Amino acid sequence: MLTQILNYFCSVFVNMAFFNGPRLLEWANSPPHLQFNKYVLKGYRPVSSAQDCVRSLFYLHNELGNIYTHGIPLLCFMVLLPFSIPWSQISITWLAVVHILACLSPHIGSVLYHLFMNHEGGAPVYHTLLALDMCGICMINTLGALHIVYITLLCYPSIRSAALLAYILLSVYGIYSAVTARDSMRRLRSFVWQALFRLTLFLLRRLGVGVGSPSSLRHFIAMDTLAVLGGVINISRFPERLRPGLFDYWLNSHQIMHVLVVGAIVCLHWGVVDDLVWINGYLCPSD
């Protein structure tokens, strides 16, 4: 039944496409640098020019879902995020601006990576695009957490400055590790120290040592939970490893990760807005 449903939607999409694409390749015939998921058996685009890569937005192939699951949220975030922030109610506008940049970064890198990964430039272009994608993920991990550090340690200016510097240095190390990693597991491990740093801040809030909006903490915990779950699903190659070939076009692990990442960013946004509004009316206790 699931196979019939997937095939139906594939045929519908093909009929709706603006034009027919080139002959797609199977895994064994695709360029070696694109053979990173042996459970996705078909639907690979041939080596293409930049123009033909852009044309691939309009026909079915196995990267189309990856492009649109971050491309559509990118367009939505660009339009909606600035209007969803109550600028008149916040006093630290630079945190809001940094937050918007953080939310856009992973989507930009991901769309460029998935759209042009089969470029005729071959493996060098692919690895450059992969590094750009990793930098986008690192940006959301770095810029996206700066306000958490800032607000949690609001009442301890010296410790706050030291913590911001430490987190930025830790992020630089994370970027280097992610860009130079040779497989998905090592790339996931590159972000572990940043996650542990954020977990420490969450514990400080929970214990009452750190401050922040009472409602924002649950959003941040949901954010990291979704992000970690997405990373685990991606490296496990679930569900396509159970039925190789069935999830070539839709519902494979990478697409599921994309959807969970979008959910994580939405949770981050809710928590940031709560904190930015809350901080405007908060006064640190005097000694």
* 265 in a structural domain: yes
* 92 in a structural domain: yes
pLDDT score, position 68: 97
Residue 221 Cα distances to 31, 66, 79, 95, 232, angstroms: 40, 25, 26, 20, 17
Instruction: Please compute the mean of the pLDDT values over residues 23-32 and round it to a whole number.
Output: 95
pLDDT in tens, 103-146: 999 999 999 999 999 999 999 999 999 999 999 998 999 999 99
Instruction: Please compute the mean of the pLDDT values over residues 225-229 and round it to a whole number.
Output: 95
In sequence order, the 6+-apart residues with CB closer than 8 A to the CB of 246 are: 2, 3, 6, 240
For residue 166, give the CATH number of its domain.
Answer: 1.20.1070
* 128 in a structural domain: yes
- Please check if 107 is assigned to a binding site: no
Smallest Cα–Cα separation from 205: which of 151, 125, 140, 269? 151
* 158 in a structural domain: yes
Total domains, the chain: 1
* 214 in a structural domain: yes
Distance CA 228, CA 261 (A): 9
* Residue 236 predicted with pLDDT over 80: yes
* 52 in a structural domain: yes
pLDDT in tens, 60-75: 999 999 999 999 999 9
Evaluated on CA atoms 238, 240, 243, 247, the torsion sign reads positive
Per-residue pLDDT band at 16 (split at 50, 70, 90): very low
Q: What is the percentage of the chain residues whose pLDDT exceeds 70?
A: 93
pLDDT in tens, 179-189: 888 887 888 88
pLDDT score, position 17: 47
- Please check if 254 is assigned to a binding site: yes
Per-residue pLDDT band at 7 (split at 50, 70, 90): low
- Please check if 61 is assigned to a binding site: no
Range of the domain at 137: 2-279
* 287 in a structural domain: no
* 213 in a structural domain: yes
Distance CA 35, CA 29 (A): 9
